Amino acid sequence: MTQNKNQHGTRSFDWSGKSVLVTGGASFIGSHVVDRLVERGARHVRVVDDLSSGTVDNIKGHIDSGVVELVRADLLAPGATDEACRGIDYVFHLAAIHGGRGYVEMHDAECGRNLVMDGLMVKSAIDANVDKFVFASSGCVYPNYIQQDISKELYLTEEMVGPPYDSDHMYGWAKLMGELALQSWHRQIGLRSVSCRLFTVYGERGVENHAVIAMIARAFIDQNPFEVWGDGTQIRNWTYVGDIADGMVAAAESDVVDGTPINLGTMERTRVIDAVHEVLRYTNKKADIKFLTNMPTGPLNRVASNQRAKDLIGWSPQMKFFDGLHRTIDWYFSTKEPEVVRGYFGRMLTERGESKPEPAGAAKASGKRS
Ligand SMILES: NC(=O)c1ccc[n+]([C@@H]2O[C@H](COP(=O)([O-])OP(=O)(O)OC[C@H]3O[C@@H](n4cnc5c(N)ncnc54)[C@H](O)[C@@H]3O)[C@@H](O)[C@H]2O)c1
C-alpha cells in the first residue's frame, strides 16, 4: 500500500533484527499485518494459526520467500502458546474465535473461549520476556447501551469503556478482559503492551461473514431480492484493512507501552442501506431490497473517534470508504466464481468457515473447538 507512506516515512524503527509473532497471521487482517511488517523490514515473522478461518494462501508469498515461518497449531492446546512465544521479541495477537455479526451473536460460548486463549498468550509472552504485546481488540468492547440512538452524531472515545460495562456479547467481553489484563500486567510487572480497538474492517481477503463482503457477494451472485439484515439504518465506520494494518504496526512502534487502548477506525459515518446502494450502483446490478428485521444487527450507531490514534501513534486512516469499497469489489469480482460462492454463502453468514463446524458431540469428545 502506498497511501500511508508519509506516516511511515516519519517513523524509524528497525524490524530487521526482531523476531515477530503474529497469532492468527493467516487471517484476513493478520495477513495484512504480516504484509506491513515485511514492508517495514521484518525478516523473521512466525505465524501461528490453526487455519480454522485463516488460509495459507493469504501469506503464501512470504512463506515462499522464507520470511514467514508458518506453524499450524491450536493455541488452546496445552503448551502451544509457550511454543509460539519462544524466542519472540514482538507479539501481535490476532488469533480469536470470531466470525461476523451472525456468528458472534449465535456462538457466545465459543467466543468465550477467547478468554482462555488470550490469558494463555499473555502468560506465555510474559514467561518469554517479550519486548511488547500488541493486542487486536475490538469496537465490541464499547457499551451497547450508548450505541442505540441513530439520531446522535456519536463518536466513541476510548474512555467510554468503563462502569457500567456493557460489551457486545461474550466476544466483546473477552476482548475487554484481554485489554484489562494487559493493563494490570503493566502495573504489576511492567509488561509493555498496547491494545488496538479495530472497527468493522473490510478489504481484500475479507470473507462473507462480515457485512461489506456479504453485500458484495449478494451482488456478485445476483441475489434478488437482495437481503439486508435490519432496516438498513444502522450506522458503521467501515475501515479499510490496509489502514488497520498500518495502525497496528504504528502502535507496536510507538512509545505506548502501558496497555492503553487505541481506536483504529475511520470517523466516516455510513448507513448500511447507503453502502448497499453503492454496491449495486458500482456493480451495475438491479435488485429489490428485502429487509430482514429479525436478523442480528448489532449496535445501531457505532463510529469511532480516532483522535487518540492521531495524538499517540500518529495514525489516521487514509482510505475513504467508497474508494476502499470499489477496490474491494474489484478484487472480489476478479477472484471469485459465482457458483462456488452460491454454494457456501448462506452458511458463512452465521458460521466461521465454509465447511465447519464438526458436530457438537465430536468437538466435545476431542476437546477441540469446532
Ligand atoms: N474483522 C473485523 O472487523 C474485526 C474487528 C475487530 C477486531 N477484529 C479482530 O481481528 C483479529 C483478526 O480477525 P479477522 O477478521 O482477520 O479474521 P478471523 O477472526 O477469522 O481471524 C482469526 C484468526 O485466528 C485463527 N485462529 C482461531 N482460533 C485459533 C486457535 N485456537 N489457534 C490458532 N489460531 C486460531 C484463525 O484461523 C484466523 O486466522 C481477530 O482477533 C478479531 O477478533 C476483527
Question: Cell numbers of 232, please?
Answer: 438498513
Distance CA 198, CA 309 (A): 12
Residue type, 104: V
Q: Report how far ligand 1's centroid is from the alpha carbon of 360 (Å).
A: 21
Q: Quick one: CA dihedral 175, 180, 181, 182, positive or negative?
A: positive
Separation of alpha carbons 333 and 298, rounded Å:
28
Q: Is the CB of 8 under 6 A from ligand 1?
A: no
Report the separation in Å between the CA atom of 25 and the middle of ligand 1, taken as the mean of its atom positions.
Answer: 8
Decide: helix, strand or coil at residue 46.
Answer: strand
8-state DSSP, 347:
H
pLDDT the model gives residue 365: 28
**What is the per-residue pLDDT for 108?**
96
CA distance 287 to 295: 20
For the chain, the structural domain boundaries read 17-352
pLDDT along the chain (370 residues), means of 10: 46 94 98 98 98 97 98 98 98 96 94 98 98 98 97 97 96 98 98 98 97 97 97 98 98 98 98 98 98 95 98 98 98 98 93 54 30
85 lines ligand 1 (CB under 6 A): no
- Phi (first) and psi of residue 171, to 5 degrees: -55, -50
Q: Is 76 in the pocket of ligand 1 (CB under 6 A)?
A: yes
Task: Lay out the sheet containing 270-271: strands in order across.
Answer: 270-271, 235-236, 301-302
Q: Is the CB of 30 under 6 A from ligand 1?
A: yes
Q: How far is the CA of 144 from the centre of ligand 1 (A)?
A: 22
CA distance 142 to 162: 8
pLDDT score at 370: 29
Determine whether the shortest distance from the Cβ of 84 to ligand 1 is under 6 A.
no
pLDDT (0 to 100) of residue 11 = 77
May I ask the CATH architecture of the domain 17-352? Answer: 3-Layer(aba) Sandwich (3.40)
Grid coordinates of 168: 457486545
Inter-residue contact 176 to 163 (CB < 8 Å): no
What are the φ and ψ backbone dihedral angles of 106, each rounded to 5 degrees?
-105, 0
CA 285 / ligand 1 centre spacing (Å):
32
Cβ of 201 closer than 6 Å to ligand 1, yes or no, is yes
Neighbouring C-beta atoms of residue 86, cutoff 10 Å: 13
pLDDT score, position 360: 38
- Nearest CA owner, ligand 1 atom 21: 27
Protein residue whose Cα sits closest to atom 41 of ligand 1: 94
Could you tell me if the CB of 138 is within 6 A of ligand 1? yes
Running DSSP on this structure, what letter comes out for residue 58? Answer: G
Tell me the C-alpha distance between 75 and 84, whole Å. 8
Nearest-CA residue for ligand 1 atom 11 is: 94
Atom of ligand 1 nearest to the CA of 94: 41
SS (H, E, C) 275-342: HHHHHHHHHCCCCCEEEECCCCCCCCEECECCHHHHHHHCCCCCCCHHHHHHHHHHHHHHHCCHHHHH
- Look at residue 241 in the predicted model and tell me its pLDDT: 98
Ligand 1 binding pocket includes 96 (Cβ within 6 Å): yes
Q: Evaluate: CB of 94 within 6 angstroms of ligand 1.
A: yes
- How far is 226 from 290, CA to CA, in rounded Å? 6
pLDDT in tens, 21-60: 999 999 999 999 999 999 999 999 999 999 999 999 999 9
Is residue 50 lining ligand 1, measured as CB closer than 6 Å? Answer: yes
For residue 10, the model assigns a pLDDT of 64
Q: Is 52 in the pocket of ligand 1 (CB under 6 A)?
A: yes
What pLDDT, in 10s, does the model give residues 157-216?
Answer: 999 999 999 999 999 999 999 999 999 999 999 999 999 999 999 999 999 999 999 999
Relative to the CA of 51, which ligand 1 atom is closest? 37
Q: What pLDDT was estimated at residue 3? A: 38
Q: Is 298 in the pocket of ligand 1 (CB under 6 A)?
A: no
